[in-house]
Structure 1
């Protein structure tokens, strides 16, 4: 089996009851740590109107992180394309690629990245883009990045600046199920199966079906379609500690997804106290969410991640770790890096 690559998706969580501004600084610090530990990529998520997550402008944070690191690939995981002009997104990421050649990834998703009011505010004074327009947005973005849209397209002769670079951003489509695989495959995008979103079953053939449908773009001829999974992982010295640390993210998801409450990320001990008072249905949601995460000692986490990679047929996994404590989060990534000998 090919050595498994590990990468990071950072949602810029607000740690230790600090401010959102401090959370952005923590993201830069974490990226520098990941660069030194041997992680392959560092992606920044996009959230709006969410007090517990600070990254609302990933394209700005990407530039700061790329400037402060040496070799790690840096990108978005992902830009919520339905809010934006594909032409502008292409120009932003071509600019980043010109500044940091061979290191920039453009990951996009179709989800809104926030509550309904934030989607309306991002579109104002127009209306939010209907979800069924996403394929047209992604097709246009592909052409703008590659430097050519099909003949007859409204913008087929429009240049995308900056010009003159020898490389282009890698393109990745994010999905929590199989809803995006056909579109990603037909346009020649890589595909990320986001297992950390939801608890529903995602069968192994999602990735194999994507690869069967894959049609390479001009600069990816000969490839079979790049695919990754993305999972929530908390690694600690003991399994008990890792499960306790995971309670902070689990409780946040419970409040956000079942009750629409996007409060701060609470200390894990407080979350377990609150767990005891939950209704049976809320406890069931909490338990299912925690069980969908990978937790344990370094050896246990490595075994579970390798089993996941074999099941889906991937050689790279993106790790999402959200904890109340920034230092505990860093320690989780340190332990994973050591378990996989990433710096070797």
Structure 2
């Protein structure tokens, strides 16, 4: 892993045992984790966007980005990602232009097609209009990139828009670094056509995330005539502990959540112990599903995790891996990131 860069993708999970007002504390936990990861040598720290979720407390990545960038010095900080279907590209361009002015050459803008929440949240975010469907996303992404790079065609209706604040032309990298998040070939091809960097979310569906998605991305970039070097990143679910048994126990909270067996009303992330008690009632099919999901994650001791991370990086042809670690306990999440840089 000597030449491999590690990045944090933080979904700001709500840790039920941290305080009585645990949801409001999740943002502070993200800031504390980011400060440690900055010292440990992580390359980037990205925060996610979720709405109407009792388990993830990150509805506004731009606010967390500002807070985290102000207390870190070395990492790039960004969104993983802004769910663009909810927003005007102009507003997103202004927001990230301001962040880039405040923290020059440290801001990443990652965008995603998914809503980051349920239909109720999408309806509320769009009111008094209706939620946009996915067909508008390519156009939004293209306009956003053009606005930030200040190269809208002269005959475009918004060609005369000013993107505040004005950045010095002497700045080495005027626009934030732009990324598209995806978990399929469709998003990869769109990222290639748009000339954006690509972050591939293997943690969403390991069974359907293959290296040929990056091949499709490279082909789309070449066909679109983009000559500049592109960055590509693979995002995985990772759980690291002192022993294999501890790591599997740690990961069980996320595995159970992925199975979506939690009864309505039990909204907190379950403790690993609670999950193991529930496993005793699993049907054989459910137990097979549990084990299969666990196998799709990177779980184990530092040595085992580092070996698997290196193997995945080589298989996908990338030098950067983003780590998603959703746990019941904040201390365990923090330790997992510490062990991987030890």
Q: Considering only aligned residues, what root-mean-square deviation do their CA atoms show, in Å? A: 2.0
Contact 2:76 2:108 in 1 (8 A): yes
Q: 1:177-256 alignment to 2 at 5 Å?
A: 177-214=184-221, 222-255=227-260
Match of 2:42 in 1: 39
2-structure distance, mates of 1:127, 1:215: 36
Contact 1:3 1:315 in 2 (8 A): yes
How far residue 97 of structure 1 moved from its aligned partner, in angstroms, is: 0.2
2-structure distance, mates of 1:325, 1:191: 31
Cα displacement string for residues 128-156 of structure 1 (whole angstroms, at most 9, x for unaligned residues): 01111100110110111111212332212
Match of 1:6 in 2: 6
How far residue 230 of structure 1 moved from its aligned partner, in angstroms, is: 0.1
Match of 1:149 in 2: 152
- The match for 1:160 among 163, 179, 200 is 163
- The match for 1:304 among 301, 308, 326 is 308
2-structure distance, mates of 1:92, 1:321: 27
How far residue 259 of structure 1 moved from its aligned partner, in angstroms, is: 7.2
* Residue 337, structure 1, aligned to residue 341, structure 2: yes
2-structure distance, mates of 1:26, 1:86: 29
Match of 1:341 in 2: none
How far residue 289 of structure 1 moved from its aligned partner, in angstroms, is: 1.9
Q: What SS is found at the alignment partner of 1:132? A: helix
Q: TM-score if structure 1 supplies the norm length?
A: 0.93
Contact 1:52 1:262 in 2 (8 A): no
How far residue 157 of structure 1 moved from its aligned partner, in angstroms, is: 2.2
Q: 1:1-344 alignment to 2 at 5 Å?
A: 3-17=3-17, 18=19, 19-165=22-168, 166=171, 167-214=174-221, 222-255=227-260, 263-338=267-342
1-structure distance, mates of 2:207, 2:155: 41
How far residue 269 of structure 1 moved from its aligned partner, in angstroms, is: 0.9
The structure-2 alpha-carbon separation of the partners of 1:261 and 1:89, relative to structure 1 and needing over 3 Å to count, comes to: farther
How many equivalent residue pairs? 335
Cα displacement string for residues 86-126 of structure 1 (whole angstroms, at most 9, x for unaligned residues): 00000000000000001000001000001110000000110
The structure-2 alpha-carbon separation of the partners of 1:282 and 1:118, relative to structure 1 and needing over 3 Å to count, comes to: farther
Contact 2:192 2:224 in 1 (8 A): no
Q: TM-score if structure 2 supplies the norm length?
A: 0.93
2-structure distance, mates of 1:171, 1:13: 25
Q: What SS is found at the alignment partner of 1:200? A: helix
2-structure distance, mates of 1:262, 1:321: 21
